[in-house]
Structure formats: structure tokens, C-alpha cells
Chain A
């Protein structure tokens, strides 16, 4: 497992690895058992939380690891959801197959949106991505028969290889497995040469370039990975909600994405998971009070920016340095 020199004896390593596996299996068992204890509505919110873990994770790659302000996240999310819905509705693909074009389209569009990063820095990129998000929303509404205008497309009878995904409990297992696999994949990408290059570009772009990392190329890659992950989340979102419509992907929804990433912690996988778990349920509670969602979330965001720029994870890592996420294997 570890190819780095370790100071502890072989037996200690074995037992700590054993503990890790025990914890992992116990955690998985707990996650698998959740549907036994929930009502349908609570299960729906849990499913949504899992989806937003991926949303935050994808956003964090661009925002936290690459350090670029971008507003295209809601657009990637929408593209994933619409790709699944259109593949099922117009092409007649089954749900599980429709997830593949969603991920592919997300990656391609992500890379395309990242292309201006070859020439543009800072605010320019923010503006291009903001405009791109609005352009996508215009397309959803003007898309005629394909996107069905502002009414949106319903997801009917999703299944995976014949196993139906109708109830919230059935959907939960599919979402859970997809999220865990994606999470594992992202953690490994971040620990590879790519993740380290993104962080290097964030911290000092000219220095990273002088080490031979082309900032433009790695930025485009980061956008492609981010777009792919958020589009997968979008596909899962379509499954969980059961309907895809333009108003789910406007700038207003971006506030939730921003807040989850910032509260959890910029540049932290754990942070994104924690942020999504804490915050995804909140809009559900505030649904009946107009404006309260924006007020609460923006105040949280302002508070985090002023008083703990590293988010919850940053505070924890400050206190317990052992929690710090490593960007290398071992």
C-alpha cells in the first residue's frame, strides 16, 4: 500500500490498516442500512444530499484546487440532467445507459468552457462562465420539442439493467454507489500529477509554468473533470427529482453550490462532503419563506469569507494537522 518510508514498525502499520478497513466496512454497512430507518421524504433529502456532494466536489476542483472563479457549475449540472433526460426522452435509451452520454457531454462542454482559460485570467473567465450559464438556460427554454421549454422533461420509469429505480429507497442505492465510485476517482485524480499541477497553478502560475506545467492545458483539464463530475451529479439529480426543468439550473441555484463549497472548505474533498451534508437540507426547510433561503445562505457565505476563509475543514485542519489532506499517495 505505502511506498514511502514509514517510521512505525511493520506490525503497527498492519493494525492501523486493519482498523481502516474495519471502519470502512462499518461505515459502508451504516450507509447501506439507512433506508431501513427513513421515511420517503427523509430518504429523498438524503438522496439529494448525495447528489450535492458530487456537485460541490466538481465545483471545488475549479474553485478550490484550480483557484479560478467560475459560474458555470449550474450550467454543467443542467447539462448533465438534460443529457440524461433527452437521451431517455428523444433517443429512448434506458436510464443507466443515458448516464454515459451525460458524463461525456459534461466533460466535453467543461473542456470547451475552460478553453478561454488559455487566454483569459481572473475576472474574464468568471464573466465567460457566467454568460455561458445564462446562454444554456436560454437554450433549455428555446429548445422546442427537444427540451420542452420551461415545462421541462419528465423522467419515466428509470431502471438499471432491468432493476427498477422508482422509490426513493431504490434510487438511493444507485446514487450511493455512483457517488462513492466518483468520490474515489476524484480523490485519486487529486493525488496524481494532475491534482498537484492544479494546486501549483493556483498557488503560483508563473512558477508552475516554469516547471513545465502548461497552465492552459491543465486548466482545460480541470474544467473537463469538473464538468464531467457535475454532469454526473446532474444525471443523478434528474433521477432523484424525476423531472428536469430550466429553473433548477439558474444563477439562484448557484448560491447553494457556492455556500456548500465555502462552508466545507475550499480545496478539500472532506469539506465538500461535510458542507453538502450540513446544507443540502436547509432549502427544504425554508421553502415556505420567500427570500429567507437567499438571506440565510448569503449571510453564511459572508460570515465564512470574513471569519473562516478555510471553511469548517480549514478550522479542523488548523487544530489537528493530521487531518490535512495529502496530495501524494501514501
Chain B
């Protein structure tokens, strides 16, 4: 029972981790907290659904196309609505992402209404039994792909020229611009990358859940919990926090009460933000006048 709960918690937590990683990348590089990330997650899943249904593509092709489309969408958001108010007050910037979030909800609701859609079965291998534990193919795929993306991003940010540019822009946009880095292009790329990670999470979770325009909202709150737990803006913290939230809420649901699954993340956010806002890995914010 315990191990089974931990296992399904890790699988859930990987989704939260990918989602939170996407938000953290954007937050670190552009200082924008994207409230529309939940909708990008939803649009990724719906794009795959559409490509599977209408032209009848195989799942892998549909997933790759959907991810590419969301990447372009992310760059488009930056170019069309974020860039003009880039240096505006942060409340306007955050509200813009809220507006974009509602816009995507509206578009999804316009086409799909208020019903929920089951994703067609993608992988029909029977679940494996390992020493009393039931492991589904979907769990393995989720964990594997999450691992690949997380590793790829750590390598990308730590060891490549692109990573150095991104870190320079995130530590000081003005300084980066002074040494000749194209800050706008970098921001645009970061929006693309961040939205892409959101879409990947949405596509991974789609086959085991139901599709509806608000499917990302619950994950958004868990991602906030993951980010607070790990320390806001800390990459490793976001991933570790995501998996920790996944495991803990499964355990709370299994041993205490299933109603707790829904609010566990809420409680984590409230307790942590009040008691230890910098999380486990973050640094205390110091404000200079």
C-alpha cells in the first residue's frame, strides 16, 4: 500500500515537476509569473486530441506537432502581448497573463463546450507486476520523459553557451543588453520553452485523465506549491518540490482522507509562504532601497 502510493505519487509528481519547471524557467529569465501556464497545459492536451481525431495521426507524431505548435504559441504570446508592457508595473504584467489565461479558456470552451472528453487509449500494454506493485506503462513513460527533459534542461542551462546567455539575461536584463545580448529574442525563446514544457506535461497526463478547459487549474496550484516548497525560482527545487507534493498528497489521500488530495497543496502553500517563504532551497529575498 505504502509503496504503491509512493509510486503513483511519483508519477503524479513528475507532471507537477515538469509544469513547475516550465514556470520557473520563465520566472527566472523574465521575472514573469505566468498564470496562463495552466491553459498552455490544457491546449497541449487538446491539440493532441484534435490531431488524433481529425487527421487520425499516430500519437507520437501528434504529440511532436502539438509541442511545436505550443512552442510557437508561447513565442507569439511574448511578441504580441507581453513585449509592449515588458517594462510596465509588475501588476499589469501579471494581469496580462491572467487575461491570456481566460482568453485560452474561452477559446477552448467555444470549441468544446462544457463537457469533458476522454482521450482515446494510447498504449494498451498490460500493467506490470513487480513484487506486488502495479506499474502501468503510462507511469513509466511519464517518469522517463520527465527525467529526460529535466536532465536536458540542467545540461542546457549549466553547460552551454545558450544557458550562459539565459542566465545572464535572468540576472540582469540591462547588463545583458549592454554586452550585446538580444534580450527580447531571449525572452521570446524562454516563453516558447516554458510553454513547451507546460504542453509536454499536459500531453503526458492526457491519456490518464479527462480533457476539459479547466483541467490545468488544479495543477497550477500544485505547481505553486512545488515552487514554494522548493524555493521560488530554484530549478532543482521546483522539480523536487513537484515530486514531493505528488507523493505527499497521495499519502495524505491514502491514509487520512481522499478529500485531502484536493486541498493538500493549498495547505502547503499557505503554511510555507507564511512560515518559510524562501522554501527549502531558495535564498531569503533582500530588498535594497
Q: Give the interface of A toward B (CB within 8 A).
A: 63, 67-69, 115-116, 119-124, 126-128, 130-132, 134-135, 138, 142, 206, 251-252, 255, 258, 262, 289-299, 301-302, 305-306, 309
Which residues on A sit within 8 Å (CB–CB) of B95?
A: 69, 258, 262, 301, 305
Segment among B49-57, B99-107, B116-124, B162-170 that sits at the interface with chain A: B99-107
Interface residues of B in 254-286 (CB under 8 A from A): 259, 262-263, 265-266, 269-270, 273-274, 277, 285
Give the distance to chain A from B179, nearest Cβ to Cβ, in Å: 28
Q: How far is the CB of B150 from chain A (nearest CB, A)?
A: 23
- 10 closest Cβ contacts across the A-B interface? A294-B106, A291-B110, A291-B109, A295-B106, A298-B103, A298-B102, A301-B99, A206-B289, A291-B106, A131-B269
**In the docked arrangement, what's the CA distance between A67 and B90, Å?**
10
Q: Give 25 CB contacts A-B under 8 Å.
A: A67-B89, A69-B90, A69-B95, A119-B277, A120-B277, A121-B285, A128-B270, A128-B274, A131-B224, A134-B221, A135-B266, A142-B259, A258-B95, A258-B99, A290-B114, A291-B109, A291-B113, A292-B106, A292-B110, A298-B103, A302-B81, A302-B96, A306-B81, A306-B84, A306-B85
Residues of A within 8 A of B289 (CB): 206
Say yes or no for B88: interface residue by CB 8 A criterion. Answer: yes
**B228: contacting residue among A121, A127, A296, A306, CB under 8 A:** A127
Query: Shortest Cβ distance from B180 into chain A, in angstroms?
Result: 29
Given A124-B277, A302-B96, are A255 and B102 neighbors across the interface (CB < 8 Å)? yes
B91 in the interface (beta carbon within 8 A): yes
Chain B residues with CB under 8 Å of chain A are 33, 81, 84-85, 88-92, 94-96, 98-103, 105-111, 113-114, 217, 221, 224, 228, 232, 259, 262-263, 265-266, 269-270, 273-274, 277, 285, 287, 289
Residue contact A251 to B270, C-beta cutoff 8 Å: no
Q: How far is the CA of A293 from the CA of B110 in the complex (A)?
A: 10
| Chain B residues in 8 Å Cβ range of A293 | 106
